[in-house]
């Protein structure tokens, strides 16, 4: 018991003699703790802000996908009795003496969940890319279908040798929120002697988002 009393007396004496230093130490500990708490609060606020931004992005992306037009593109033989096609397209733009016209029908089915508007296309042939404005429509509703009869003009080599020509449609359109898309249809023609022109293959790509609407 006497030892304990001596220790307590020594502690009290030490505290009385070093009161200023102890206040400095206590203040420093308090400042360090406050800084750590502030940093933790800032990190938590930043994490909450990032989570909010990501949640908003996911919401907007989900909403965009819910109204995104998506086209199923097929090319079939044109067996109609029309004298004139809806569109005439050159596979190449040279000065060959012989040309063959091959008629096809392009069937466009909107299998997406939203309407497409401002529907146009770029024709890409062996010479370059050309924006066209010759369609009789500019919109396709969800579940809707459009058909275009097309005359493709193919040029023949002077020696009659065969060659392949890769051309494509690049369809451009917007959804109801003003998001802009493009979707490509690539075709390969086998061109031989006059009247020997066949569509060898074609393939449609998926829609590509070109420009996302602001404040969608």
Question: pLDDT for 80-120, tens place per residue?
Answer: 655 678 999 999 887 777 889 999 999 999 999 999 999 99
3 state DSSP class of 160:
coil
Q: Which of 111, 102, 191, 183 is nearest to 149 (CA)?
A: 102
CA 209 – CA 206 distance, rounded (Å) = 10
CA 5 – CA 27 distance, rounded (Å) = 29
Record the pTM: 0.73
Q: Scan for tokens 């929120």, then name that residue.
A: 177
pLDDT at 14 over 60: no
């Amino acid at each position: 018991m006497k030892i304990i009393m001596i220790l307590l007396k020594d502690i009290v004496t030490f505290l009385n003699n070093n009161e200023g230093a102890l206040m400095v130490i206590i203040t420093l500990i308090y400042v360090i703790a406050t800084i750590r708490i502030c940093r933790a609060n800032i990190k938590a606020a930043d994490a909450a802000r990032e989570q909010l931004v990501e949640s908003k992005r996911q919401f907007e992306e989900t909403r965009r996908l819910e109204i995104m037009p998506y086209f199923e593109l097929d090319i079939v033989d044109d067996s109609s009795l029309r004298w004139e096609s809806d569109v005439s397209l050159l596979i190449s733009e040279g000065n060959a003496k012989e040309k063959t016209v091959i008629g096809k029908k392009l069937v466009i089915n909107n299998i997406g969940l939203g309407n497409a508007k401002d529907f146009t296309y770029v024709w890409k042939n062996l010479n370059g890319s050309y924006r066209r404005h010759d369609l009789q429509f500019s919109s396709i509703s969800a579940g809707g279908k459009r058909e275009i009869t097309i005359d493709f003009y193919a040029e023949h080599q002077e020696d009659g040798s065969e060659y392949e020509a890769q051309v494509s449609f690049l369809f451009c359109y917007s959804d109801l929120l003003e998001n802009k898309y493009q979707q490509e249809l690539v075709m390969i023609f086998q061109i031989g002697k006059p009247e020997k022109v066949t569509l060898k293959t074609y393939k449609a790509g998926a829609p590509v988002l070109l420009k996302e609407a602001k404040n969608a």
